Each structure stands twice: as structure tokens, then as C-alpha cells.
Structure 1
Amino acid sequence: MRLSTVILPIYRWSEGQKVWQRAEDLGFHASYTYDHLSWRTFRDGPWFGAVPTLTAAAAATRRMRLGTLVTSPNFRHPVTLAKELISLDDISDGRVTLGIGAGGSGFDATTLGQDPWSPRERADRFAEFVPLLDQLLSEDAVSHTGTYYSAVEARNIPGCVQRPRLPFAVAATGPRGMKLAARHGQGWVTTGDPKLFASGTPEQSRAAVRDQIARLGAACAEIGRDPAELGRTLLTGFTPERTTPLESVDAFVDFAGRYGELGITEIVVHAPIPDSDFAADQAIFEKIAIEAPAQLG
């Protein structure tokens, strides 16, 4: 099982550079960041752009993979996003993974002045966004006329360092999202079942993730794809266990091992942020990063 982290884009780079470099020194497989314009309780504090942050991180690190958890259509267009991702993949020498999801109804959904999209429209847009982005990242020139997104002879030369393009990790729980993950993803991302966060039990959460993985497998079977080809990532902090896994190495190994038994192949933990939803003991966090992977195998 791989162990990765999320570093929220809240730091001026004089400080943030040290956080990203420390994550590489600790041996994390990947470090991700959120791709939002602002987010929940962090709305009134510092919050920097995901792509510039990842570009700086690419220049400050050498081995660790980098990526978004997750990018969405809320304020992105496939043509401009593709150009940024190709540039980032080049600067990082092929270390980028795009975590991508349909987006939600938070601040990003209305910042550009639009009314929030309905769940149906978000799903419709996502179903058009992902295949077009796939094409833009894989081909030198693309023209497309869609309901929501268009491209007219969009050029993306020289393309990605990673071939045929950088990998997608598709965040999905519904049937349409699962089909997109099966067809276009190299990975799949879940935060568990959000309905269980406040009052569910760890056992219920694991049962929900087990069901999600089964539905992902069914979506792969529909198109004749081996589900083992997809990585399966759990972004922690949104299941009923909340911060419990970061209380000790033993607690984390138990938590991660139980999800590993279900088929999860990568666990992502938030780098500690004092006085926030992601507060945790930095020393224990670092000890988990160093010691837990060997115990998980």
C-alpha cells in the first residue's frame, strides 16, 4: 500500500517550500493539494492556486509524485487546463497525477458569478469534461463542439512527458462517475460515504467503501477492463474515524490495513494544520510516514 499526503495551499512559498520538501524527505509516495479558489473554514485565510503551487513544488522536489485532489469543472475549462497540465508535467519530469472530480456546491460553484449547478448538470458537465481533457492531453490538435465545452484546433505540442498522457485519478461514487473512472482513469478516489461522516460507524464506512469498489469493478467489467489496472485511493479525514488514525502508528496501521483488505491501494493523509479540521501531532504524523509503510507492506 502506498502512503501519500495532502498539503493545503495555505503557505507563502518561503514556508511552503519547506513543507513540500519535508514530505519528500519523509518518503511519501505523492503529495497532493486541493484545487479550489477557497475552501470551507479556510475561506478567510491564505489560499494559493493549485497549479502554481504544484509547479513550485515540482522545482523544489525530485522524486515524489505531485497532483491535485481534486480538480473539477467548477472554474476550469479543458483547453486551458490541458495547457497548464502539460507544462506542469514537463517541469516535474513526468511526476504529475490529475485527481479530478465533478465538483460540489461550495464557494467555487458561485465565485465566477454563475448560479450553482444542479447535481444533474454537474454530472453532465463532468461527463463531457473528462473525455475532452483526455483527448486534449493525448493528441497534438483537437477540435470539439459540445454542449458545455468546445475546442477549435487546440494545439498541445509537445504533449505530456508521461505517455500517452499523465494519469487521471477520478473521484466518483455515482454510476456515471464510476463509468468515467473505468474508461478514462488510471486510478479512482473516494472519501468514503459523506452521509456517514457525522453519525456513521467505522464498520459502516468500510461497508460503504467495499460497495463502492464493487461498483467500480462492475463498471470496468461492462467495458472489458480489468479493475486491477486502477489504483484505488482513500483520501482520509472524511470518514467517521476522522483524526483517530493519526493518533499513533498502531492506530494508523490498523485503520489503513482494514481499508487495504477492501482493495484500497493508496491512503492519503492531510499534513497537520494547527487549530483546524486537520490538526494533528506533527511528530506522530512524521513517525507514521516513516514507520507505517513497512508494516503495511
Structure 2
Amino acid sequence: MSDKVLGDRIPEFGKPKAGGQANMGGGLGGVSIQSTRELMAVIAVAVLIIGGAEWLLRVFEVPPFIMPTPSSIMAVFFSDELPTIATHAGHTLVELFAGYAIGASIGLLLAALITQFPFAEKIITPYILLLVTTPMLALVPLLILNFGFGYTPRIIAVALASGPMVMINAATGFRRVDLGKIALARSYGASTLQIFTKIRIPMAMPMVLVGLMMGAIFGLITAVGAEMAGGGFGLGSRLTTYSSVIRMPEFFACILILALMGILIYLLFFWLGKRLAGWES
């Protein structure tokens, strides 16, 4: 077979396709934008939806206390209320980061433990299933009763919500490793720790990242719910306050901030997936 034929059949990786296309996605979620035309289409649809909502609300004269216009919602970000909302958003982020760090760390440790020791799985799994099937918001009043109205009950609730998500997905990833690779490593004298760090963790990274992303999103939802139940501070507290005094532009501004937090969480793990688990695609 000639070199020319081989050259025609060998794919060239890492080079953009003809027509100026550039891969802007992949990995977690499989969402990708392949060209500038697709990007412009996404922006056009967003502008159409927002502009159409603005026009419809004005034409039908919908009262602001029922549904404010997008322009009035955006005006909140240029008003004197923004510093107050930003302060409460900071409280929500503190609860999320602290609770998530605790829950994700414990979840990863438990996943490693039950993967290496099947007997430990029989002891731990029933309690993890109990946590997964129990709405954490139902425990918030009990946590507030025992720990007060500060950060502590909210951080505990976030940790309890995020930890099981991380543990279940990480353990699934650790178990899906090809046993042939493990057997080959043992034949070369690799220890259990070496097999876990050099084979199980890298091969399980896609599932681990999915678990971390789900844990972060569940943690954000739980943090907001705990703030709504406990009051005092946080975006969840602002939601209940603004809805009670019918300040709907500020209410939807808080909703928009929470949505942006969720999108940033997805984009963070999307980027990590491309860096740490890009080999899967």
C-alpha cells in the first residue's frame, strides 16, 4: 500500500476542520458549538426569547407583581439594591463551598473505601441510600433547632446533600475499571495503592467528575432551600423576603444569579472534564 493511500486514511487529530469550524465543547454533557454560525444561532434564539417576552408583557400590560419585564429585572443590577443582593450571594457561596468541600471529601473517601473493602460497602451503603432518598430540606428545621440560625446547619445540610452524590458516582467509576489492566499491573508487582492511584482513579475520572458536578448542583439547591427555611441571610432568604413584599424584579434577579451559579458550576466541570478526562471522547 502506497504512502499516499496511507496518508489519505490516517486521520489528523487536533486540527480544525475545513470551513473554519472549531470545537468549543465536548466531554461532560456532550454539548458543543462547532462553528460561528451555530454560536450566532444560539445568541439569536436567546435574543428572540427575551425580546419576545419583553414585547408580550408590555403589549398585554401584565402587572409587574405577576411577571416583571426582562428590562426591569436587568435594571436591578444597576440599582442601589445590587450591593445587598451581592452580600447575600456571598453568604450562599460560603455555605456552598464549605459544605461541598466537606461532603465531596467524605464522599470520595467512602467511595475508595467501599471499592477496596466489600464488607465496608455492606455496612455503609444502607445509610448512603437513606441520605439519598431523604430530602435534606426536611432535616433543615431539625438542624436549625440543634445548631442555631448561623452557617452551621446550612453547611451540614449541603454536605449531606452533596456527599452521597459524589460517593455513588465515584464508586461506580472505580468499579468500571477494566480488570485486565488490574491483572496486568499485579503481574508486574504493583501494590493495591499503586493500582488505585495509577489505574482506578485515572480510568474513573469521568464518573468522578460527574459525581462532583452533581454534588455541587445538589449542594446549591440545598443551600438555597436551607436559607429559605432558616431566613436571616443568603439568596434563599432574599427570595422569601422579596416575594413577601411583592418586589418581583428583585426576586427574579436573585433567581437569575442562582441560575448563573449553576451554569458556572457546569462550565467548571465541563472544562475539568476536557482537561482531566478528554481521552474518553
TM-score (norm 2): 0.24
Q: Would you tell me which structure has more helix in proportion to its own residues?
A: 2
Q: Which has the higher contact order (CA 8 A, sep 6+)?
A: 2
> Over alpha carbons, which structure has the higher Rg?
2
Higher share in strand = 1
